[in-house]
Amino acid sequence: MLLALETSCDETACAILEWRAEGGVRVLAAEVASQAALHEATGGVVPEVASRQHLRDLRPLLDLTLRAAGVRLEQVAAFAATIGPGLAGALMIGVAAAKGLAIGFGRPFVGVNHLEGHLLSPFFDEGDELRPATGLVVSGGHTLLIDVAGFRQYQRLGGTLDDAAGEAFDKVAKLLGLPYPGGPVVDRLARTGRDDAFAFPRSLLHEAHHDFSFSGLKTAVRYLLPKIDAADECVVADVCASFQQAVVEVLVEKTVRAARASGRRRLAISGGVSLNSGLRAAFAARCAATGLELCLTPPSLCTDNAAMIGHVGLRLQRHGLSTPLTEDIDPNLRLAYAA
């Protein structure tokens, strides 16, 4: 049994998990304390504010998770926490707490890469041997295409050269004067708009490589705004739908192309942006048409959460791996790729 903490940005999260006898992970309890309302006034995450709120929320959330799982701390066999990437001050809160618990109860500490947590979140039900897939991690801070040959057998296929897809969603929402966090609001408005109302660019769509670029798309929206009536809700919905369609088309086309180039027959989509209804529908339709298997992360595991961190922590434990207590956080931590 493992207890995991996630404090990489503005979500304080705790989860308790165990490995099932038949393979895969069972989540006994998972709780999240969101800071979205706290950061709404500034339209984005203020690192110092986020760190202080993690300190306030962590102990009550830990107690709540233990009660929900019906577990005592002395029953926990290992303690895990996100060690990077993320905001330095925020990461320190979770890592210090997990290390303190590991020392206090004489248990191993497991530092987990946040990106690996997202990458493997579609695979909770799989055993020790992960089936190969092309993984797309698409979130506010990251847009990455990864070839997953197995656990810890990753190859980078491509990534964003500038803005992450989720970052573009939030910036466009801010340009339109929409509430924070903007990504879900854009998604909601896009459902009532016309996705062909405005001809936004599809950067790098036809390039042979698997990299992405969303900065130009965001700039195109900025240049459009003085030419339209941004006070008209129907026009704003059209902008949202057209913008979202441009992002979705690039993500779907380049992911499918990468899978074909790698010879994979399975797509694994994860990260906060994978909650987007347009993206999920487009991937489902494309995979149905091409015979590809689609593994979508369950909605509860798309945004930052401790269950995905605990999932990776349990897999590391099963491979006999833990983290020295002297290991520090790494706000710029990258995925470890196979040689």
Length reported for the chain: 339
| pLDDT on residue 334 | 94
Amino acid at site 77: A
Over residues 213-222, the mean pLDDT reads: 95
**Is-contact 35 10, C-beta < 8 A?**
yes
Query: Is residue 6 scored above 90 in pLDDT?
Result: yes
Percent of all residues in the chain with a pLDDT value above 70, rounded to a whole number: 100
Query: Mapping DSSP to helix (H, G, I), strand (E, B) and coil, where does residue 297 land?
Result: coil
201: tokens are 């660019």
Identify the bridge partners of residue 110 per DSSP, sorted by sequence position.
80
**Is-contact 336 151, C-beta < 8 A?**
no
Query: Is residue 259 scored above 80 in pLDDT?
Result: yes
Query: Is residue 272 scored above 70 in pLDDT?
Result: yes
- When pLDDT is cut at 50, 70 and 90, the band that residue 265 belongs to is very high
Q: What is the mean pLDDT of the chain?
A: 95
- What are the sequence ranges of the domains in the chain? 2-121+301-318, 132-297
- When pLDDT is cut at 50, 70 and 90, the band that residue 237 belongs to is very high
Fold equal for 2-121+301-318 and 132-297: yes
Rounded Cα distance, 139 and 303, in Å: 8
| pLDDT on residue 180 | 87
Give the architecture-level CATH label for domain 2-121+301-318.
2-Layer Sandwich (3.30)
Over residues 262-284, the mean pLDDT reads: 97
| pLDDT on residue 339 | 65
**Is-contact 31 61, C-beta < 8 A?**
yes
- When pLDDT is cut at 50, 70 and 90, the band that residue 186 belongs to is very high
pLDDT tens-place string over residues 30-87: 999 999 888 888 888 899 999 999 999 999 999 999 999 999 999 999 999 999 999 9
Amino acid at site 265: R
pTM of the model: 0.94
CATH superfamily placement of domain 132-297: ATPase, nucleotide binding domain (3.30.420.40)
Amino acid at site 9: C
Over residues 90-103, the mean pLDDT reads: 98
**Is-contact 213 204, C-beta < 8 A?**
yes
